[in-house]
Amino acid sequence: MSHGHIARGAAHDLRVEGTGVENESGRVLLDVQDLSVEFRTGGGVLEALSGVNLTVRQGEVVAVVGESGSGKSVTALGVMGLLGNGRVSSGRIMWDDYTDLATARPKNFRAIRGNDIAMIFQDPMTSLDPLYTVGNQLSEALRLHRRMRRREARAEAIDLLGMVGIPDPGSKVDAYPHQMSGGQRQRVMIAIALACSPRLLIADEPTTALDVTVEAQVLSLLRDLQRDKNVSLMLITHDMGVVAEMADRVVVFYAGRVAEQGTVDDILQNPRHPYTQALLRAIPRPSTPRDEPMPAIAGNVPALHEMPAGCRFADRCPLVHDRCVEQPPHVAISSEHSTACWLATDDRSSAVLEGSPA
């Protein structure tokens, strides 16, 4: 490891010690504030995210959940500056208190993404280059981000492959992606993400393509890395079992907005948004065969071009009432727990968070 890496690691440790509190109120690394993202398409401008707020603190695991199309990947890609034909139309993406990634100059942005923030993509096959060995791809990252020389980078690549549990890393370093199993490719993706020793790792459904045993291994690998290296993890998943196992806090997306967020206990034991409650009811039992479809929530997520003006869950909500034609504000249930539902505003113990309804 380079000296720079060691020094940076030490500085983090000091900061965490200095606060005296770890995960509950550690320092905020990523602070997404009121983020909206639009895509220009042939059919006009579509708003994929609308007023999203979320934070990730040092060393914690934040799970991001929600149905397909709810904006989980767009949030991650926004943080990574990889929105393609999309753009941030409002809001801020504060990194470590001082850089707004939504407006940062490309040069500053590149220094952060790759060095401080790394992402494991939803589909490892599309993000590994089939023409290069995994060793080449790891070395490339090490030479770029840690300025290693060729020989040093190869040795570190082998170390990293071993660290993520690839058997016989000394020979696998020369394999091409198609010569590896799906689980091994996913581990290579994790190794590449770790090559830059990030402070935040964003993992977008890192295990969907894997079978149950390998899934458990990859998740426990991510958890070990998070604990041992105090890396923050933003884990995108639609699997509430994974949430229960891994997360410190949970952010529930619905149709491009945050419906509810809180600690893992808040969300699993005391969900306040009818959507979260429905998601939890839809968890397959352990006895359910894997290929059986999840007991789905009736109805569909509204399409981007026909979002209702009020609560976006209203037409599927079992508790829908008159007020839901207006957009519900975010209501604080506790300092960590908030939900965007009119029902929570009736509760005297909760307070509407400042700002306009979002």
Ligand X SMILES: Nc1ncnc2c1ncn2[C@@H]1O[C@H](COP(=O)(O)OP(=O)(O)OP(=O)(O)O)[C@@H](O)[C@H]1O
Considering only residues 26, 51, 59, 71, which one is a binding residue for ligand X as defined by CB under 6 A? 71
- Closest distance to Mg ion from the beta carbon of 138 (Å): 25
Alpha-carbon span 278 to 6, nearest angstrom: 46
Is there binding between residue 78 and ligand X (CB under 6 A)? no
Binding residues (CB under 5 A) for Mg ion: these are 73
Question: Is the Cβ of residue 183 or residue 256 nearer to ligand X in the bound state?
Answer: 256
Looking at the Cβ atoms of 46 and 320, the one nearer to ligand X is 46
Q: Are 226 and 232 in contact (CB under 8 A)?
A: yes
Q: Which is nearer to ligand X, 113 or 172 (CB)?
A: 113
Among positions 10-29, residues that touch ligand X (CB under 6 A) are none
Shortest distance in whole angstroms from residue 209 CB to ligand X:
12
Question: Helix or strand or coil: residue 39?
Answer: strand
Is 36 a residue that touches ligand X (CB under 6 A)?
A: no
Which residues have a Cβ under 8 Å from the Cβ of 79 and sit 6 or more positions away?
30, 32, 93, 101, 117, 202, 234
* Mutual angle of helices 134-145 and 182-195, in 10-degree steps: 20
DSSP 297: P
Nearest approach, Cβ of residue 74 and ligand X (Å): 3
- The binder of 81, among ligand X, Mg ion, none, by C-beta within 5 to 8 A per type, is none
- What single-letter DSSP state applies at residue 346? T
Pick 119 or 218: Cβ nearer Mg ion: 119
Q: Where in the chain does DSSP place strands (E)?
A: 28-41, 44-57, 61-65, 86-95, 99-100, 117-120, 200-204, 232-236, 249-254, 257-263, 331-332, 338-339, 351-352
Minimal distance, residue 344 CB to ligand X, in Å: 24
Tracing tokens 């060095």 back to the chain, one arrives at: 115
DSSP 185-220: HHHHHHHHHHHT--SEEEEESTTTTS-HHHHHHHHH
Minimum distance between the CB of residue 88 and ligand X, rounded to whole angstroms? 14
> Does residue 82 bind ligand X (CB under 6 A)?
no
Among 16, 32, 35, 48, the residue binding ligand X under the rule CB under 6 A is 48
The yes or no reply on residue 68 touching ligand X (CB under 6 A) is: yes
Q: Please give the Cα distance from 17 to 59 (Å, whole number).
A: 12
Considering only 39, 95, 254, 342, the residue that binds ligand X (CB under 6 A) is 39
Binding site for ligand X (CB under 6 A): 39, 41, 46, 48, 66, 68-74, 84-86, 238, 304
